[in-house]
Amino acid sequence: MTVSSNRVFTWKFTQLVWLLFGILEALIGLRVVLKLIAANPHNPFAVLVYNLSAVFVWPFLSLTRTPSANGAVLEISSIIAMFVYALIGWIIVQLVWILIDRPRTATVVTRDTTVVEQRLPTQPQNQPRG
């Protein structure tokens, strides 16, 4: 795999991770909104959203109290789940870039703002060749 194809693969893979976590975030966010506006829990769309998101929100459900008034519910645990899943998505993307992408050049910017590309050594300078 060449450097450019490796970089393209890494970029596409991270975009896929962001897409999947974005869909998950939207699903949980929709759950929060439906609960907040006291949507009919027997409506087929609400049932679909609640069933799809239940597996992802389940570990967080008993974490905090859930304030409610007149049927409207603020699921703080679902909002916490959104933050946790966003953090997990960001960590996965960072790990992919660290583990898969290996740049072969370093960019050096001098005081007069000229950019110079330098080849990175394939083996550290202080290691014996063998």
Cα separations in angstroms, 95 against 10, 40, 80? 11, 41, 23
The pLDDT of residue 54 is 96
- Asked if residue 66 is part of any domain, the answer here is yes
What size, in residues, is the chain?
130
Which residues constitute the domain of residue 51?
A: 3-104
**CA-wise closest residue to 57 among 29, 15, 90:** 29
The pLDDT of residue 74 is 94
List the structure tokens of 111. Answer: 């005081």
- Asked if residue 22 is part of any domain, the answer here is yes
- Asked if residue 113 is part of any domain, the answer here is no
CA–CA distance, 124 with 46 (Å, rounded to integer): 57
- Asked if residue 127 is part of any domain, the answer here is no
Regions in the chain scoring below 50 on pLDDT: none
- Asked if residue 70 is part of any domain, the answer here is yes
The pLDDT of residue 18 is 96
Total structural domains in the chain? 1
The pLDDT of residue 22 is 97
CA–CA distance, 9 with 51 (Å, rounded to integer): 33
29, 35, 39, 44 alpha-carbon torsion, rounded to 10°: 60
Q: In this predicted model, what pLDDT tens digit does every residue of 7-40 receive, in sequence order?
A: 888 889 999 999 999 999 999 999 999 999 999 9
The pLDDT of residue 121 is 54
For 45-81, letters b (16+ CB in 10 Å) and e give: ebeebbeebeebbeebeeeeeeeeeeeebbbebbeeb
- Asked if residue 30 is part of any domain, the answer here is yes
The pLDDT of residue 118 is 56
- Asked if residue 109 is part of any domain, the answer here is no
- Asked if residue 115 is part of any domain, the answer here is no
